[in-house]
Structure 1
Amino acid sequence: MKKLFRMFFIFFKIGAFTLGGGYAMIPFIEEEIVEKNKWIDAEEFIDIIALSQTIPGAFAVNASTYIGYRLFGFPGALLGCLGTMLPSIIIITLIAAFFVQFRSIPLLESVFSGIRPAVAALILVAVMKLGKPLPKNLWNLTWVGVVTLLVTVFGFHPILVMILSGALGYFIFKGEKTDENTH
């Protein structure tokens, strides 16, 4: 029970202090769940990230719900989800109540101007961490480049890219053992 509530407060803290959405939360979730508490290993964490992107809904909510379920069953899923969502609900409610009055304050405009590059950096850190355990072979490097082009240049929807990637993976690697040494 103590670990269950610790998980809730971890997700609450991450939800409360991470600006920039779910991708900016990845390094914080990994630090707490994989590194500090060792509840999930790095390889499974990457799988959770991939799965969370394919499910409809907010990425961070999907990830925290899955991690909570994986660790503590339904109560963990519920508290993981609430832990991630509750800070946003509280903050958005407060902002909605006061934003119109305070949006043009130069101090707040300056603060948010300073936060934006930090959010971009946190997303870049997440990309680097997620890419680190990926085997550096011709298939993976080529597919990373193709997906980047499909999304950024040709405007493919990320869900379509994930479905396409899964289908290609199935046809290319079916029948192979799926460890790092085979592809």
Structure 2
Amino acid sequence: MLINLFISFLKIGLFSFGGGYAALPLIQEEVVNLHHWLSLSEFNDLITISQMTPGPIAINSATFVGTRIAGFPGALAATFGCVLPSSIIVGGISYFYNKYKDLDAMTNILNFLRPAIVSMILIAGISILQTAFFDVKAISLANMDWIMLAIFIISLFTMFKSKIDPIKIMLFCGLLYLVTNFLFY
């Protein structure tokens, strides 16, 4: 199990260019679809927990999944697997970037990677929205969580139109969801 955790998160760490949000589809594929270590609902909880705790989302996710599957040794294996490729790649890239940063080829490579990274982040966002607003089994207006949609719109509008601290908005939205669930369910 430790080797499976290490290899799964090694793959995630190796191919998650663009940061934690870009890694979310890869984490979902490995953890939910391929190995069935978490359900889709648990995966969304994982994202929420990883967002609320300090540190990069991919590393927090690796630690969470590793702990859930194999305790402390699992957390170490998954986290090390996630971090190892980045450490090696960043070391190599920093050397070559400093040496060749003025070459057109370097600029072209970076320009080529940007759209792929944006699309991975968009896919992760769409996946999170689907599981937040709809029943996991079916996406239709009949399965829409209208309270969650309303809270999302309120928080989105508040974040764009005010300078309120995002943490306060998150706390308010969480409290609002608890109150509405208590009143309507």
TM-score by length of 1: 0.86
Deviations 1:64-86 (A, max 9, x none): 11011011100111111111112
Taking only the aligned residue pairs, the percentage that are identical comes to: 33
- Equivalent in 158, 161, 169 of residue 161 of structure 1: 169
133-142 vs 34-43, which moves further: 133-142
- Equivalent in 142, 147, 150 of residue 155 of structure 2: 147
Q: Which runs of 4+ in 1 moved over 6 A?
A: none
What CA distance in whole angstroms lies between the structure 2 residues aligned with 1:51 and 1:123? 18
Counterpart for residue 13 of structure 2: 15
Counterpart for residue 52 of structure 2: 54
What CA distance in whole angstroms lies between the structure 1 residues aligned with 2:147 and 2:52? 21
1:26-105 alignment, distance < 5 Å: 26-105=24-103
Aligned residues: 175
What CA distance in whole angstroms lies between the structure 2 residues aligned with 1:102 and 1:41? 45
Tell me if the contact between 1:24 and 1:122 (Cα under 8 Å) persists in the aligned partners. yes
What CA distance in whole angstroms lies between the structure 2 residues aligned with 1:11 and 1:146? 36
Against the structure 1 CA distance between its residues 152 and 119, is the aligned structure 2 distance closer, same or farther, given a 3 Å change threshold?
Answer: farther
What CA distance in whole angstroms lies between the structure 1 residues aligned with 2:82 and 2:166? 23
Q: Which runs of 5+ in 2 are unaligned?
A: 135-143
Deviations 1:78-126 (A, max 9, x none): 1111111121111222223332111122122112111111111111111
Q: Which runs of 5+ in 1 are unaligned?
A: 177-181
Which residue identity does 2:173 align to in structure 1? S
Offset at residue 53 of structure 1 (A): 0.2
Which residue identity does 2:75 align to in structure 1? A
TM-score by length of 2: 0.85
What CA distance in whole angstroms lies between the structure 1 residues aligned with 2:34 and 2:27? 10
User: Greater helix share, 1 or 2?
Assistant: 2
Tell me if the contact between 1:54 and 1:159 (Cα under 8 Å) persists in the aligned partners. no
Counterpart for residue 179 of structure 1: none
What CA distance in whole angstroms lies between the structure 2 residues aligned with 1:64 and 1:159? 24
CA-atom RMSD, angstroms? 2.0
